[in-house]
Amino acid sequence: MAATDRTPDRASAAPPGTAHLLAGAVRHSPGRTAAVFLCSAVAAGVAIVLPAVLGHTLDLLLDDADGLHGAVVLCAVLIVAEIVCTALEALLGGVVTARSAAWLRRLGVDHLLSLAPHRAGEHAPGDLVTRLTGNVAEASTAPTTAAAGLASLFVPIGGLVALGVIDPWLLAVFLAGVPLLIWLLRAFARGSSESVSGYQRVQGEIATRLVEALGGARSIAAAGGATRELGRILDPLPRLNAQGRRMWQVYGRAMAGAGILVPLLSTAVLAVGGVRLAGGHLTVGELLAASRYTALAAGLGVAVGGLDALVRSRSAARRTAELLAIPPMRHGDRALPAYGPGRLELCGVTVFRGGEPVLRGVDLVVPGGATMAVVGRSGAGKSTLAAVAGRLCDVDAGVVLLDGVPLTEIDPARLRREVGYAFERPALFGETIADGIAFGPYRPQPAAIEAAAAAAGADTFIRLLPGGYAAPRATAPLSGGELQRLGLARAFAHAGRLLILDDATSSLDSVTELRVDRALVHDVRAGTRLLIAHRVSSAARADLVAWLEAGRVRAVGTHERLWEEADYRAVFVAAEAGHETPGPGSPRGSSGTSKYGPAGDSAREGR
């Protein structure tokens, strides 16, 4: 079968970037976002009208003219309207922000869980937590900030227009300072974007180190390295401090510039306005309105605050978009043959990690219903082969077939019902022990859960727990071997036509391992078994053994036939010793281990 390179499909399917992500957040709550814009626009309109009405009211008061009462009432109505609109804007803005945060987090988590495990691991756990919590919280403010910011543009524009209507000379004086206002805004946006991005990156680094330390808390305590580890976690703090200082310095310089420039502009406008007032070209009320419109037109403080929020939102959204840019696994909608035997085929499979090939042109066939053990030295590619066999990751070249159907074309729900996994260090989910075993594409009946636990040698110790199968999973005192047996029970409870055990019996004693092997044959749904094996006994009980070396299949055959080769025996000597052996010619590599392993005749009995 011809090799197939999946890379072009991944690249073409890359998710949209930052701008599209923020636009999606706006589209998620279009009605409420529009309402925020409307409330903000009405408040801006009131802010523009109010100075003119106040100025007119002052002129009526000074001239003792008719209509003063109506003008005062109108001022009160406008003030109340501005307060109400501002309150509604805050309320609706909070709802939009909360909905956007929930949408972004769901989008990020869904995408993260759709990735191959090795792709999801490209970002450290602490960094992922920071991106999906703090960064998403900042990014979620973008719809509200954008809507309110767009409406707030009406204020300086309206102020300029009103200033020109009152007196063109006042407008000309103000426009002389506009280039400085624009320069301040551009300098702030550029400097703020860089400092905010750096601050968020360092936050992610600190979170990553903290999560690592929490995961290894027992090792840190045993080594007496708490102080040293605390220093390592907090080591980036000076850089965080520097980025934070830079961020506030940029903001402070912009506000300081505004604090100087805006009063100067206002003073200049008032000075010219005073001359125009003395010449009879302006009334006192118009001068009052002009001073207010100057402040509105020069509203740099509001603009800087809104721009700062947008910059932070965009920087945070960029970090979320980086997660979404990781190409997800593509799936088809084909069904597997109804009664397929579980025949697994790897044809020309090549997989790269970090630019280096881990598997190189692997051709391997596991007959339906057979048990094949995969052995090899550390780094030979065994776990990668196990991941490829059940499509926990995609191949870079070649194709993997289950009962003649490429894994990439199979409906994912059907694939997960037919391919089961058990791992060396399983992770359990759910509230109770029973939930941990039942976790999967469907929930087995209680009787099936208990039968799977019995097959994995877990039923006895589960019943000794307070509450038995209903015991709280999070607080249950489990050893490494007991946890591994629960992982096996979960795999047995969902066993389909293909079951992959990735060194899933490494923490079991020989007697328990033998019982599990017997249960695989007699008590678990019949199907194909692929075992990643480090023990001689596991390989000895398999129907076939695939011997991997440097990412290639060196040989496939029965354990008895392969045992005749010294290099093959050396693989198990190295695994049992915990390090590589000098070579096949060493005494231990040639005769130090029985071909049935430590279990001796019991291994043969298990077959």
Helices 30-63 and 18-28, packing angle to 10 deg: 80
Region(s) of the chain under CATH 3.40.50.300? 368-390+410-606
Q: Give the Cα separation of 569 and 566 in Å (integer).
A: 5
Average pLDDT in the chain: 83
In this predicted structure, the answer to whether residue 602 has a pLDDT above a threshold of 80 is: no
Q: By C-alpha distance, which of 402, 379, 340 is closest to 580?
A: 379
CATH class of 14-324: mainly alpha
Phi, psi of 454 (to 5 degrees): -65, -40
Residue 289 token pair: 């309105």
- Segment 287-344, tens digit of pLDDT: 888 888 887 776 655 555 566 677 778 888 888 888 888 888 888 999 999 888 999 9
pLDDT in tens, 332-385: 999 999 888 999 999 999 999 888 999 999 999 999 999 999 999 988 999 999
- Greater confidence (13 vs 33) lies with 33
DSSP classification of residue 432: B
- Give the global pTM: 0.67
C-alpha to C-alpha distance for 373 and 572, rounded to whole angstroms? 13
* DSSP string covering 26-66: HHHSHHHHHHHHHHHHHHHHHHHHHHHHHHHHHHHHHHT-T
Q: What angle do the packed helices 226-234 and 178-215 form, to 10 degrees?
A: 160
Reply yes or no on domain 368-390+410-606 having CATH 3.40.50.150. no
Which tokens hold the place of 163? 């200033």
User: Which residues are paired to 530 by β-bridges?
Assistant: 372, 500
Enumerate the β-bridge partners of residue 532.
374, 502
- Residues forming beta bridges with residue 544, ordered by sequence position: 372
Backbone φ/ψ region at 151: left (φ over 0), alpha (ψ -120 to 50), beta: alpha
Q: What is the per-residue pLDDT for 593?
A: 53
Q: Please give the Cα distance from 355 to 353 (Å, whole number).
A: 5
Q: Which residues of the chain does CATH 1.20.1560.10 include?
A: 14-324
